[in-house]
Structure 1
Amino acid sequence: MAKWTTLKSVFFCSTVLTTIGYGNIVPMTLEGKAFCIVFALVGIPLTMTVIADWGRLFASTLSAVMKRIPPLPKSIRNAMVARRTSSYALSAICFLFMYLAAGAAIFVLWEEDWSFFDGFYFCFITMTTIGFGDLVPKQPKYMLLCTLYILVGLALTSTIIELVRRQYAQSWRQLQALRGPLAENFRKFADNAPGLDVLAFQQDLMKVLTVVSMPRRIGSKKEKKDKDKREKEWEEALQAVIQDITAKAANKEKQMLQIVIYESSV
C-alpha cells in the first residue's frame, strides 16, 4: 500500500462502501486485506442506510415541489401520466438519464481516450453498482470529484426506487380501503348463494382491481376511447355477475338428481 495516494485511498473506500468494486485498486498485503474485510462489514450497511435516507429526502423534496406546480390545462393533462405519483417517478427517471449524460460529457473531458458512449456506459455501470472495471478513471486528480459524482448518483437512483415504492404503496392502500365494502358484499352474496365460492371470487376480483387501479399512460384520443371502453366493459361484466348471483338466489333452483338405469341381457 506504499504506492497509494490519499485520493486513490478515498476512491478505493468509496468503491468498497458502495459495493461497486471496480478492481483497479486493491489491497495487496495481508493486513490491508484484513482491514478491508472489517471496513466493508461495518461501512457497507451504514452507507446503504445513508443513501436510502438521501433517496427518501430527495423524494419528499420532489413531491413537495411537484405539489406547488399549478395544474395544467385538461388537454395537456390527458397526454400525461394519469396519476401525479407516476409523474414523480417519470421525472426522476428522465433526470437520471440527464445526470448520466452530464457525467458522460464530464468524463469525456477528463479522459482523452474516452468517447461519449464510453462515459455514459461507465456512469450507468457505476450507478447500478455493477462495476465491471473495464473502464475506470485514470486521472488521480479527478478521483475525488468522481467519488462525489458516484454518491450523488446513487442517491438519485435510491430516489427513483423510493418514488416507485410510494406509487405501489398508494395503490395498495386504495385496495385495502375497498376490502371492507367488498367483504360485506361478498358475505351477503354467500348468504343468498350457497354454491358461490366466495374466497375464489374475492381473490379474482382483487387481482382485477389491482390491475385497474395501477396508473396508465393516456396519449391519443383513440387510447382514451379504448380505456373508457375497457372500463365500461369491466363495469358491465361485474354487474352481470352480480345479477346472475342474485337471480339464482331469488329463484332458489333446486338441484335435480337424475338416475339412468341401463338394462342388459346376458
Structure 2
Amino acid sequence: MSRRCRRRFSRFLWSVFPHLSLVSCLLLYSLAGAPLFQWLEGSAEAGQSQAEELLGKLWNVSRSGGDWTFLSSLFFCCTVITTVGYGNLTPITVPGRVACMIYAAVGIPLMLLVLADLGGILAGFLSKTFEYFLESWHRRVQRQSNTPPKFATFPRGPHKSSTQSTLDSRLSVREPLNLTEVLKSQATVKRRYMQMRNIDIFELIVMKENRNELPYKCPFKKCHSCPDLDIKPTSDSVIFNFDNLGEEVDRLDVPVLLIVLIVVAYIMLGAVILPLWEDWDTLEAFYFCFVTLTTIGFGDVFPAHPNYFLLLSLYTVVGMAIICMAFKLMQNRMVGLYKQCIICVSRGNVQMTPAKSQS
C-alpha cells in the first residue's frame, strides 16, 4: 500500500471515528441495559399465578416469566430509548421502574444524538447523490448544446478553380472587407470566444476539484519552524464538524417526491421481510413498521419472535434516522410553503423574515 493510500485510509478512519463512537455508545448502552432489566424483572415474574398469567395473555399484556429473556430485554431497551413503547413488556417491580426511568433519562438524549448524526450522514449522502446526477445531466445537455457545427464551404459568386481559390484564400487577409463580411467574422469570433470561455470554466472546475482532493500536508515541520503560525491538525476539522451536528439537513434541497419514495421503500422493505417469521400479512407488517418508525407505538401489533429482536432493533434505529431526515426536509418545505401562502394572502403586508440564531 502506497503512502498516499495509507494517508487517505487514515483520514477516512478519523472522519468516521466520531460517528462510530456514537453508534458504539448506543449499542453498548443497550447491551448493558438488557441484563439489568432481565435480572430485575425476571425474578419477580416467576411469582405470578397461572390465572393472572392467563388473564394477561388474553388482554395482550402478558407478563410471564419467559418474557424477560436477554433478547426480549434488549428489545425492551430499544423501545424505551426510541420512545416507541409498545406496552407488551413493562416493568412491574419498584427497582425495575426506577431503573427504567433512569435508563430512559440517559438513553433518550443519546438516541436523539445518534439519530441527528445518522440523519446528517444520510442527508449528505442523498444530497450529494442527487447533485451528482443533476450535474451529470446538466453537463450532458451543455455538451450537446456546445457541440461545434460541422463547417461547410459555400461558393460566393461565380465558381473558381482550386488554384484560384487557394490564391484568394491566401490573399483574403490583406484585402479590405465589406460590412457584411466584418459582421460575419465578428459573429464567428464571438462564438469561438464563448466556446473557449466554457472550456476555461470547465478547466477551473476540474482544478478546484483536484485541489480539494489533494492530501493535507503534515503540519509538524511548519509548526516547529514557525511556532506562531496557527495551524490546526487534521483531526480538529472532524471535531469542528461535530459542533454542527444535524445541521446538514437544513442545507439540503432534495425533491419531496424523492424523500417520500425513500421512506416508502424502506417501510416496504420491512413489510416484505417481517412476514417471513411473523404471522402477519404485508399490510399488517407495513402498519407495524410505520407505527414503529414514527414512534407512535400503539401496542396493538408487536413482534412475537424474540430471536429476531436484535435485527428488528437495528431496523428500527436506521429507519428512525431516515424518518428524522425526511421529517426535517418536509418541515423545511412546509415552512417555505407557509411563508409563501402568508405573503400571498396578506398581499405583501406581512414580511416573513428568517429567525435570528441566538448566541
TM-score, normalised to structure 2, is 0.44
Q: Which residue of 2 aligns with 1:216?
A: none
Distance 1:119 1:171 in 2: 33
What is aligned with 1:150? 316
Deviation string, structure 1 residues 114-172 (Cα, Å, up to 9, x no partner): 11111001001111111011111100100110101110110000111232355568889
Alignment partner of 1:106 is 2:106: no
**Equivalent in the alignment of 2:348:** 205
Gap runs ≥5 in structure 2: 1-40, 43-64, 142-251, 354-359
Distance 1:168 1:61, change over 3 A: farther
Please list, as runs of the form range in 1=range in 2, the aligned pairs for 1:24-103 lying within 5 A after superposition: 24-69=88-133, 70-71=136-137, 85-87=253-255, 89-103=256-270
- C-alpha change, 1:206 and 1:98, in structure 2 (3 Å) is farther
What secondary structure sits across from 2:96 in the alignment?
helix
Number of equivalenced pairs: 174
Structure showing greater radius of gyration is: 2
Q: Deviations over 1:63-93 (max 9, x none)?
A: 111111122699xxxxxxxxx9241x32121
- Separation (CA, whole Å) in 1 of partners of 2:347 and 2:329: 28
- Match for 1:38: what amino acid? I
**CA 1:173 to 1:54, structure 2 compared with 1: closer, same or farther past 3 Å?**
farther
Cα distance in 2, alignment partners of residues 13 and 58 from structure 1: 25
The 3-state SS of whatever aligns with 2:348 is helix
Say if 2:183 is the partner of 1:15. no
- 1:209 to 1:95, Cα distance in 2 relative to 1, 3 A: same
Distance verdict in 2 for CA 1:209–1:166, change over 3 Å: closer
In 2, Cα distance between equivalents of 1:151 and 1:145: 10
RMSD: 3.3
Structure 1: which amino acid aligns with 2:276? Answer: L
Cα distance change, pair 8–85 in 1 and its aligned pair in 2 (3 A):
same
The 5 Å alignment of 1:122-201 reads 122-167=288-333
Q: Is the 8 A contact 1:122 1:136 kept in 2?
A: yes
- Cα distance in 1 between the residues matched to 2:333 and 2:137: 20
Letter in 2 for 1:118: E
The 8 Å contact of residues 12 and 25 in structure 1, kept in 2 or not, is answered as yes
Separation in 2 of the partners of 1:135 and 1:173? Answer: 39
TM-score, normalisation: structure 1 = 0.58
Identical-pair percentage: 40
Are residues 59 and 207 of structure 1, via their aligned partners in 2, closer, same or farther at CA, if it must alter by over 3 Å?
Answer: farther
Is the CA contact 2:130–2:254 (under 8 Å) kept in the aligned structure 1? no
- Taking a change above 3 Å as real, the CA distance of residues 48 and 28 of structure 1, as seen in their structure-2 partners, is same
